[in-house]
Amino acid sequence: MLFVHVLSAITLVGSVAAIPFRVLPPQRKRDVNPALVPSFGWQSGVNPDGTGNCDGAVDGTNGKPILIPCSCPPNSTFFLTNLNKNVAAGFVTTNPTVKVSFPTDDSTASQLARLNAAAVTLQNLEGPGVGCPISSTTFSAQGKAISAGTSTNGNSSAATPTAASETPAGFGVSPSTSAMSAAVPTSITSNDSSASPTDEQIATLAPPLGWQAGINPDGTGNCDGAVDGTNGKPILIPCQCPPDQTNYIANLTANVRAGHVILNPTVQLTFPTDNSTASQSARLNAAAVTLQNLNGAGKGCPIVSTTFSAQQKAINAENTS
């Protein structure tokens, strides 16, 4: 009888071992709650001018809507798909130096973090800096409402701001031919790659603005920007943009020291000093978000007041050559 019991046990063990092991698929991060995604507050295709430009959600200093590509803002399904990918990754997948978070509580910081995630997703939909400008949405007004405590949630329908200088523009425009020749600083050798950059390094490696303020004023506060629109003419910018070099470097240095934009703390930045593609892009991002928040959260100069888009294209081209 003992022999029979032992044999039965061996048979049972063999049967258990024969059961195939099922490998479960990796868990996917849950998509963001659509109810918490900031509303664009605007729709594409408003008042087309026949050259590919339409009215944006924000008025310029001349009291007229800032023109935006007629395809902006994008389809909400397309946008939400990209936002989900970015939040799951923790950064903008088309521009990895830009970090994002999407907290779900109702604190001011969390609402602003969600708004920032939506904004950088919008500005980098098709690649680094290739997307739709913030002026195709009411995001700036929503940020103001959140900061002022007048928004009840992260999906504010606050009124649209009226000054062009209050609204940061995205990279989603084609640089003019002359802008493509912009020179991009390379690197400064350092014995300690983890060391914080010196003031001299920041000033030397800061991406050049590539443009100056006050070119061809139209008498309404607008001047020619560094980038041509789809109609072949310069996109108009506030005549005070871009800022003078001293102001630009001072603000960039302060932000680099803090590790975030001081006047918009949810926007993180880094300023590595080596010559890798990622580091050059990180420095360009630091310069761009500094420019867009010079006077407060979302209060600065648009990217089209610089040759930053052309510089990013040059950096990407070096990486693929």
pLDDT digits (tens, 9 = 90+) for 103-114: 999 898 889 999
Give the C-alpha separation, 90 to 319, whole Å: 23
Residue 22 domain flag = no
Residue 298 domain flag = yes
Residue 263 domain flag = yes
Tokens standing for 47?
């008042």
Please tell me which residue, 96 or 156, carries the higher pLDDT value. Answer: 96
Lowest mean pLDDT among 5-14, 122-131, 245-254: 5-14
pLDDT at residue 41 is higher than 80: yes
Give the C-alpha separation, 150 to 288, whole Å: 28
Mean pLDDT of the chain: 78
Q: What pLDDT score does 283 carry?
A: 93
Residue 189 domain flag = yes
Q: What angle do CA 17, 22, 28 make, to 5 degrees?
A: 155
Domain encompassing residue 154: 50-320
Which 3 state secondary structure label does DSSP give 74?
A: coil
Angle between helices 108-123 and 76-89 (to 10 degrees): 110
The backbone torsions φ and ψ at residue 172, rounded to the nearest 5 degrees and listed phi first, read: -75, 55
Are 301 and 292 in contact by the 8 Å Cβ rule? The answer is yes
Q: What angle do CA 35, 38, 41 make, to 5 degrees?
A: 115
What is the pLDDT averaged over residues 121-130?
82
Residue 150 domain flag = yes
pLDDT tens across 228-284, in order? 887 788 888 888 999 999 999 999 999 999 999 998 887 889 999 998 888 999 999
Structural domain count, the chain = 1
Q: What pLDDT score does 30 carry?
A: 79
Q: What pLDDT score does 36 carry?
A: 93
Residue 168 domain flag = yes
Give the C-alpha separation, 74 to 56, whole Å: 13
Residue 32 domain flag = no
Residue 7 domain flag = no
The number of beta carbons lying within 10 Å of the beta carbon of residue 183 is 11
